[in-house]
């Protein structure tokens, strides 16, 4: 298996980088799912079709990474049902994630679609690169985070403006949890047992999904289920 890449501290890439590492910790870790944001389409199990990016190329590279902080599930997704994944960089722990090398414009268009907006407007990344965090609005994925740099380019993601302890946790749906598992496995740094244990232990999933049930999701779209 490939080892997860180490994230170096600092923004990297200058004030206006042409390329960035869009780092997903949720369903976009899985390339088939990410493709719906890039080229347009509806992923299996989702209730929404995505228009895609202006630049419809797939990532130039996708690598497994580990970030400081914690992932948790909260709010209610109209696309999947159940909780969505969010990232709290200030929480204790480690996050298994996948960094996709995309253009700055593609990153902006992916972020827009996450907020149910039309893509097409570039983001000003100067604040997030200078400070490590930039709140663009009150929306669920309108807070940009720069977790560091990889190969001299910024590692960027987006999350909610609140912290892990400031919102009620909500269990994820089977379809959503399965995409997280498939993305982590596809990254090539973690085996199925590690992935199942990780997803089942995230706040929101813990106590509702067992490690065994999450493991069954990996082997079939309808297998497994939450603990009642």
Q: Say if CB 187 and CB 62 are below 8 A apart.
A: yes
The pLDDT of residue 49 = 85
Looking at 22-26, 49-53, 86-90, 170-174, which range is the least confident one? 49-53
Q: Tens digits of per-residue pLDDT, 91-112?
A: 999 999 999 999 999 999 999 9
CA distance 218 to 223: 8
pLDDT the model gives residue 222: 44
Average pLDDT of span 130-138: 91
Mean pLDDT of all residues belonging to the chain = 92
Say which CATH architecture domain 19-173 belongs to: Roll (3.10)
* Count of alpha carbons within 13 angstroms of residue 44, beta-carbon side: 12
Strand partners, 190: none
CA–CA gap between residue 160 and residue 141 (Å, rounded): 5
Partners of 134 in the β-ladder: 144
Domain boundaries of the chain, sorted by first residue: 19-173
Q: What value does the mean pLDDT take over residues 50-66?
A: 97
* Strand runs labelled E in 15-140: 19-24, 62-68, 70-74, 84-88, 94-103, 133-135
Q: What are the start-end ranges of the H helices in 119-227?
A: 126-131, 174-187, 192-201, 211-218
Predicted confidence (pLDDT) per residue in 170-227, tens digit: 999 999 999 999 999 999 999 999 999 999 999 999 999 999 999 999 886 444 444 3
Beta bridge partners of 175: none
How far is residue 193's CA from residue 195's CA, in Å, rounded to a whole number? Answer: 5
Percentage of residues in the chain with pLDDT exceeding 70?
A: 95
pLDDT for the residue 219:
81
Q: Residues 6 or more apart from 42 whose CB is under 8 A from it? A: 36, 48, 49, 50
User: Residue 79's pLDDT is what?
Assistant: 84
DSSP 8-state class, residue 57: P
- Contact status, residue 144 vs residue 20, Cβ threshold 8 Å: no
Residue 13 and residue 125: Cα distance in Å, rounded?
A: 11
């Amino acid at each position: 298996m490939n080892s997860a890449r180490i994230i170096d501290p600092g923004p990297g890439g200058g004030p206006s980088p042409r390329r960035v590492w869009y780092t997903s910790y949720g369903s976009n870790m899985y390339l088939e799912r990410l493709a719906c944001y890039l080229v347009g389409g509806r992923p299996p199990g989702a209730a929404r079709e995505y228009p895609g990016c202006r630049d419809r190329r797939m990532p130039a590279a996708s690598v497994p990474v580990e970030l400081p902080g914690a992932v948790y599930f909260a709010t209610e997704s109209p696309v999947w049902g159940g909780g969505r994944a969010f990232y709290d960089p200030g929480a204790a722990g480690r996050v298994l994630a996948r960094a996709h090398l995309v253009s700055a414009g593609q990153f902006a268009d992916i972020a827009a679609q996450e907020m149910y907006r039309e893509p097409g407007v570039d983001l000003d990344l100067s604040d997030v690169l200078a400070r490590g965090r930039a709140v663009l609005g009150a929306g669920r994925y309108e807070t940009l985070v720069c977790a560091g740099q990889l190969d001299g380019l910024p590692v960027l993601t987006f999350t909610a403006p609140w912290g892990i302890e400031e919102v009620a946790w909500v269990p994820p749906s089977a379809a959503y949890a399965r995409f997280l598992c498939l993305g982590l496995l596809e990254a090539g740094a973690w085996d199925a047992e590690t992935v199942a244990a990780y997803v089942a232990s995230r706040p929101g999933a813990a106590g509702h999904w067992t490690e065994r049930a999450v493991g069954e999701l990996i082997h079939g779209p309808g297998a497994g289920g939450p603990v009642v």
